[in-house]
Structure 1
Amino acid sequence: MTHAVDVPQYPMPRNVERCPFDPAEKLFEIQRVDGLRRVRIWDGTQPWLVTRHADVRAVMASPHVSADTDNPAYPHSSAAIKARRARAKTFFTEDGAAHDIPRRALARDFTAKRMQGMREVVQTVTDQCIDEMLAGPKPTDLVEALALPVPSVMICELLGVPYHEHDRFQVLTKVFTAATSTAQDTVAAAEEMLEMIAVVIDGKMDNPTDDTLSRLVVEQLIPGHMTNEEIARMGLLLLTAGHETSANMIALGTAALLSNPAQAALIRNSDDPAVVAGAVEELLRYLTIVHSGARRVAIDDFEIAGTEIHAGDGLILDFGTANRDTAAFTSNGHGEPDDLDISRPARHHLAFSFGVHQCLGQQLARVELQVVYSTLLKRIPTLALAEPLENLEYKTDMSIYGLHRLPVTW
């Protein structure tokens, strides 16, 4: 296949004024024309950008690619993220046993059955946050009032991290995810969070409770299978990912629903759990908040979509564009993928990645989103944006897309 000479810079800016929920227009052009193309990233290297749904799945499942961030050819998202991973690498950026063994050590804490068992707690926390919203002033910032507290409480509960630390880890997570963070700032934030979690782990040596970190201490640390540092790195990954992604999905998903009142009404007026479950899958597909792409590096020569990829080539898998692929998400009776349609069969989306590295906490995220969207729309049926959609402050400057603030009224 012959590719265009054009080597655009990646990531590409969204046209927030046109539609803040859509990926950059240039990405759709690449998807239409050839599906993958060389792009230029921050360090001057030119990895392949993969944009079609089927191709992304094929690459993510391929034995010819690696997630190992120590590979010199790995296409890091920024100098800051590269430095942080060098200091606090986690199993999520490993291959083979280095990935599989720690993941198996955590898997039983994140099963669909266990996450469904936490639904009542999610409901209680959500109702408490909404009670406080309704008793307070309006307009109010939904990010601070609801989007951040719910997943923060839940991930602290699950891991066994004291909730009074939530302000601290939220500040540190912002350093991790901000495009403007320096390598020095990011490493310092990682050091501080690792130290915070290590102290929690030490406390569980003598007083284990019913939580994930306690179980890792009893089953992994005390027998000598893992070190305090290794468990702290796992905790760092789960703590940051466990609240940041869900918080952004709550806020951005609410903005999308309030901008599409007919879709919001379908959730508000239904008592069928399948309706809100389907809505969550569609919102995950439509918004795809991980908007800087998953990164891989080829370790063998192989072919994708008629193009030869060589060992040492970097690859960026753009989930957001793949989740808008007409070939994957257009079906009878449903709109184009650029439309929000909560009745669309969308469970095959890539918002949680694909293959062995897919998101460990996806079942918890699903429960949180199902409870929050349904409860919010039912309890506050007059909920509305307090500012025009185009005036909201979007996280175009962060590796996880979302809203810095979401002013709402009722």
Structure 2
Amino acid sequence: MFDSLRDERPLARMVYPDGHLGWIATSHELVRKVLGDPRFSHSLEIGHFPVTHQGQLVPNHPKIPGMFIHMDPPDHTRYRRLLTGEFTVRRTSRLKSRVEAFAAEQINVMRECGAPADLVTNFAKPLVLRSLCELLGLPYSERAEFEHAPTLQHDPDSKPEEFAAAFERASSFFTEVIGRKRKQSEDDLLSRLIAEGQLTTEELCNIVVLLLFAGYETTESALSVGVFALLHHADQLASVRADPAALDTAIEELLRYITVNQYQTYRTALEDIELNGETVKKGDTVTVSLPAANRDPAKFECPEKLDVGRDAAGHVAFGFGIHQCLGQNLARVELRAGLSALLQAFPGLRLAATIDEVPLRLKGSVFAVENLPVSW
């Protein structure tokens, strides 16, 4: 569908769930233009959400302290500046040894379970959650208090009341952890933010919610679906095994090829804007399709093919512009540690089901596999 739309009309009209007549952009060029243009806002005060959430319309609402993903400068700038240093390549590389240790421990868990094992529940989910807990300063041993909320957030079939209860439980727990760290700081992001003294408890709690909810399901899914893609393309898996040094290049191609962030990226025009020969009126919301942009043949040759040797620079799997994913460097550390551990530990890694038997999650905001049975 997106291929023909991109070819015929890369900026097309789109009716939103609340009845708003907006737009959808599907070409790589237009997606980057919209995401990089300060005349487009990401505020939920004025925007129109492109999909329903758990069967309900997402209403406009005022800014939530600390939830900077839906803020424009200067508010967005203030929060992002406080966090940018925590997610640089240099800072996230300091977590590399810990993330690799987590990966090794989850490999042992898989061996203890025996083949066939579900790679999602036994490897990908715990690896990513443990890494996020390490960074943020959340006790992984108490994950039952918060781990279900992000999953329900991204599940279109979850019940609103179920998510609300899980969210409230998680938020209360985060507030409790913040209180602990005010009394005794540790070497983690939360402790450092508390020490700087610029944020309230409400802001700190919402930042934890944002970072956890944005970084858990997305990276776990990228890892799981990335493994699925490699196991489905034996020649590409063989290429990665033959040259482990090229794993970083392969990861960028996997991010481009699968693009787990599906259809919740949008911006709203703050003024009339000429775009691709059309006038996007002030107040019009434009949804940008990251998967369609990453499959644009004008940017990537034979984009429908997985090519782990491809230079995938310029992909928009992490977005673009001022809201480009803050945690992308951590995600790369997690993906590299996870894939490297699996390839080294299991030379015979293979699917323990047919391709058609692997359950895909297509309806949620994050493309994922529900489970991935593997043998070795």
1:280 aligns with 2:246: no
- Using the TM superposition, name which of 74-83 and 154-163 deviates more: 74-83
- Report the Cα distance in structure 2 between the residues aligned to 1:268 and 1:84, rounded to whole angstroms: 49
The letter for the 1-side match of 2:334 is E
- Report the Cα distance in structure 2 between the residues aligned to 1:160 and 1:345, rounded to whole angstroms: 35
- Using the TM superposition, name which of 75-84 and 367-376 deviates more: 75-84
Shift of 1:85: 7.2
From 79, 91, 102, the equivalent of 1:125 is 102
Shift of 1:202: 0.5
From 206, 221, 231, the equivalent of 2:183 is 206
In structure 2, the residue matched to 1:3 is none
Measured against aligned partners, the alpha-carbon deviations of 1:183-205 in whole angstroms (never above 9, x if no partner) come to 54444433322211111001111
- Report the Cα distance in structure 1 between the residues aligned to 2:113 and 2:342, rounded to whole angstroms: 15
In structure 1, the residue matched to 2:39 is 64
- Report the Cα distance in structure 1 between the residues aligned to 2:241 and 2:61, rounded to whole angstroms: 42
In structure 2, the residue matched to 1:54 is 29
Measured against aligned partners, the alpha-carbon deviations of 1:1-48 in whole angstroms (never above 9, x if no partner) come to xxxxxxxxxxxxxxxxxxxxxxxxx11111010102112232232320
Shift of 1:77: 3.0
From 345, 353, 360, the equivalent of 2:319 is 353
Shift of 1:402: 0.6
- Report the Cα distance in structure 1 between the residues aligned to 2:95 and 2:359, rounded to whole angstroms: 32
Give the paired residue count: 373
Measured against aligned partners, the alpha-carbon deviations of 1:113-140 in whole angstroms (never above 9, x if no partner) come to 1111211111111111112212322111
Summarize the Cα distance change of 1:231–1:191 in structure 2 as closer, same or farther, 3 Å threshold: same
1:53-202 map, 5 Å: 53-71=28-46, 73-79=47-53, 80=56, 82=58, 90-202=67-179
In structure 1, the residue matched to 2:11 is 36
1:322 aligns with 2:296: no
In structure 2, the residue matched to 1:21 is none
In structure 2, the residue matched to 1:377 is 343
Measured against aligned partners, the alpha-carbon deviations of 1:304-351 in whole angstroms (never above 9, x if no partner) come to 111111101111000000000000111xxxxx1000001111121000
Does the 8 A contact of 1:39 with 1:48 survive in 2? yes
Report the secondary structure of 1:303's partner residue. Answer: strand
From 235, 248, 252, the equivalent of 2:221 is 248
1:234 aligns with 2:234: no
The letter for the 2-side match of 1:43 is D
The letter for the 2-side match of 1:34 is R
- Using the TM superposition, name which of 249-258 and 288-297 deviates more: 288-297
1:327-346 map, 5 Å: 327-330=298-301, 336-346=302-312
The letter for the 2-side match of 1:144 is T
Report the secondary structure of 2:99's partner residue. Answer: helix
The letter for the 2-side match of 1:82 is V
Does the 8 A contact of 1:81 with 1:186 survive in 2? no
TM-score (norm 2): 0.95
Measured against aligned partners, the alpha-carbon deviations of 1:205-240 in whole angstroms (never above 9, x if no partner) come to 1101110111111113xxxx3210111000001112
In structure 2, the residue matched to 1:306 is 277
1:217 aligns with 2:184: no
Report the secondary structure of 1:78's partner residue. Answer: coil
1:366 aligns with 2:332: yes
Summarize the Cα distance change of 1:216–1:165 in structure 2 as closer, same or farther, 3 Å threshold: same
Does the 8 A contact of 1:385 with 1:408 survive in 2? yes
Does the 8 A contact of 2:264 with 2:287 survive in 1? yes
Does the 8 A contact of 1:68 with 1:95 survive in 2? yes
Summarize the Cα distance change of 1:386–1:81 in structure 2 as closer, same or farther, 3 Å threshold: farther
The letter for the 1-side match of 2:49 is P
The letter for the 1-side match of 2:51 is S
Shift of 1:371: 1.7
- Using the TM superposition, name which of 357-366 and 181-190 deviates more: 181-190
Unaligned runs of 5+ in 2: none
In structure 2, the residue matched to 1:389 is 355
Unaligned runs of 5+ in 1: 1-25, 331-335
In structure 2, the residue matched to 1:6 is none
- Report the Cα distance in structure 2 between the residues aligned to 1:262 and 1:131, rounded to whole angstroms: 27
Measured against aligned partners, the alpha-carbon deviations of 1:215-268 in whole angstroms (never above 9, x if no partner) come to 111113xxxx32101110000011122221111011100000000111111111
Does the 8 A contact of 1:169 with 1:240 survive in 2? no
Report the secondary structure of 1:39's partner residue. Answer: strand
- Report the Cα distance in structure 2 between the residues aligned to 1:136 and 1:186, rounded to whole angstroms: 30
TM-score (norm 1): 0.87
Does the 8 A contact of 1:57 with 1:354 survive in 2? yes
Measured against aligned partners, the alpha-carbon deviations of 1:363-410 in whole angstroms (never above 9, x if no partner) come to 000111112112212220111111111221111132111111111111
Does the 8 A contact of 2:255 with 2:317 survive in 1? yes
CA-atom RMSD, angstroms?
Answer: 1.8
- Using the TM superposition, name which of 180-189 and 143-152 deviates more: 180-189
Report the secondary structure of 2:334's partner residue. Answer: helix
Does the 8 A contact of 2:44 with 2:63 survive in 1? no
Report the secondary structure of 2:146's partner residue. Answer: helix
Does the 8 A contact of 1:394 with 1:403 survive in 2? yes
- Report the Cα distance in structure 2 between the residues aligned to 1:175 and 1:246, rounded to whole angstroms: 16
Does the 8 A contact of 1:283 with 1:342 survive in 2? yes
